[in-house]
Structure 1
Amino acid sequence: MEQAVDDATLDASAVLVPGDTCWRVETADRLSILMENEAYFDALSSALDKARRSVVVLGWQFDPRTRLDPETRAGDRQAEIGHRLRMMVKTRPELDVRLLIWKSPLLIAASQGFYPHKAQTWFRKRMVEFRLDSPGPIGACHHQKVVIIDDEVAFCGGGDISVDRWDSTAHRDADPRRRQPSGVISPPRHETMCVMSGPAAMALGDLARERWFKATWERTVPEPAGSDPWPDGVPVDFERVRVGIARTEPAYGGRIEVRENERLHLAAIRGARKLIYMENQYFTSPVIAAALAERLAEPDGPEIVLVSTGRSPSWFDSMTMDTARAEVLFRLETADVHNRFLAFSPNTRGGERIIVHAKVTIVDDRLLRIGSTNINNRSLGFDTECDVAIAPEDAAGRERIRAYRHQTIGHFIGISGESFAAAEAVTGSTGKAIQESDTGRMTPLGAIQPSMVQRTIAEFQLGDPVSTADAFRPWKRRNRSQRPLPQTS
Structure 2
Amino acid sequence: MALIVDAADYFRVLRQIILAAERELLFIGWDFDFEIEMLPGESDSDGLAPDGFPNQLGAFLEAAVEQAPDLHVYLLKWNGAVIAAPGRLMPTVALSVFGSDRIHFALDGHHPFGACHHQKIAVADDKLAFCGGIDATEDRWDTSEHLPDDPRRVRKDGSPSEPWHDATSALTGPVASALAELSRKRWHRATGDTLKRPASTPADIWPDDLDVDAKDVDVAIARTEPPYDGEPLINEIEQLYIGSIEAATDTIYIESQYFASETVCAALEKRLREQDGPEIVVINPEAALSQLEDDAMHVLRGRMIDRLRAADHQDRFRIFYPVTAKGDPIYVHAKIMITDASILRLGSSNLNDRSMGFDTECDVAVEGPEALITGFRARLLSEHLGVSPEVFEEALQKENLLIGAIESLNSPKGRGLRRIDPRPDGIIGGFLANTRLLDPRYRPGQETSAGQGVRPRHLALIAGGALVGGLAFLAWQKWRGGGPRS
Residue 106 to residue 221, structure 1, CA distance change in 2 (3 Å) = closer
The answer to whether 1:217 aligns with 2:192 is yes
The SS at the match of 2:409 is coil
User: How far did 1:302 drift?
Assistant: 0.7
1:336 to 299, 303, 312: 312
2:214 to 230, 235, 238: 238
The SS at the match of 1:241 is coil
The SS at the match of 1:123 is helix
Which amino acid is 1:471 matched to?
Q
Aligned counterpart, 2:421:
446
Contact 1:86 1:123 in 2 (8 A): no
> In structure 1, how many angstroms separate the alpha carbons of the residues matched to 2:76 and 2:89?
11
2:133 to 144, 158, 163: 158
2:106 to 121, 131, 144: 131
Aligned counterpart, 1:267:
243
Contact 2:30 2:119 in 1 (8 A): yes
The SS at the match of 2:70 is coil
Map of 1:103-182 to 2, 5 A cutoff? 103-104=79-80, 106-110=82-86, 114-116=87-89, 118-125=91-98, 126-182=101-157
Residue 40 to residue 472, structure 1, CA distance change in 2 (3 Å) = closer
Contact 2:302 2:423 in 1 (8 A): yes
> In structure 2, how many angstroms separate the alpha carbons of the residues matched to 1:233 and 1:39?
11
Which amino acid is 1:189 matched to?
W
The answer to whether 1:411 aligns with 2:369 is no
1:364 to 330, 336, 340: 340
User: How far did 1:451 drift?
Assistant: 3.1
Which amino acid is 1:167 matched to?
D
Aligned counterpart, 1:307:
283
User: How far did 1:400 drift?
Assistant: 2.2
* Count of paired positions: 437
**Unaligned ranges ≥5, structure 1:** 1-30, 475-489
Q: TM-score, normalised by structure 1?
A: 0.86
Contact 1:60 1:102 in 2 (8 A): yes
Between stretches 153-162 and 116-125, larger displacement belongs to 116-125
Identity level (%): 35
**Unaligned ranges ≥5, structure 2:** 49-53, 443-447, 456-486
The answer to whether 1:80 aligns with 2:56 is yes
* Structure exhibiting the larger radius of gyration computed from Cα positions: 2
Which amino acid is 1:120 matched to?
V
Map of 1:24-103 to 2, 5 A cutoff? 31-73=1-43, 76=47, 78-103=54-79
Q: TM-score, normalised by structure 2?
A: 0.87
Aligned counterpart, 2:172:
197
The SS at the match of 2:216 is strand
Which amino acid is 1:201 matched to?
A
The SS at the match of 1:239 is coil
Contact 1:48 1:229 in 2 (8 A): no
Which amino acid is 2:38 matched to?
L
Aligned counterpart, 2:364:
388
User: How far did 1:232 drift?
Assistant: 2.7
User: How far did 1:435 drift?
Assistant: 2.3
User: How far did 1:38 drift?
Assistant: 1.3
Between stretches 347-356 and 96-105, larger displacement belongs to 96-105
The SS at the match of 2:217 is strand
Between stretches 223-232 and 138-147, larger displacement belongs to 223-232
User: How far did 1:453 drift?
Assistant: 4.2
User: How far did 1:457 drift?
Assistant: 2.4
The SS at the match of 2:218 is strand
Aligned counterpart, 2:483:
none
The answer to whether 1:285 aligns with 2:258 is no
User: How far did 1:105 drift?
Assistant: 5.4
Q: Which has the bigger relative contact order, CA under 8 A and spacing at least 6?
A: 1
The SS at the match of 1:193 is strand
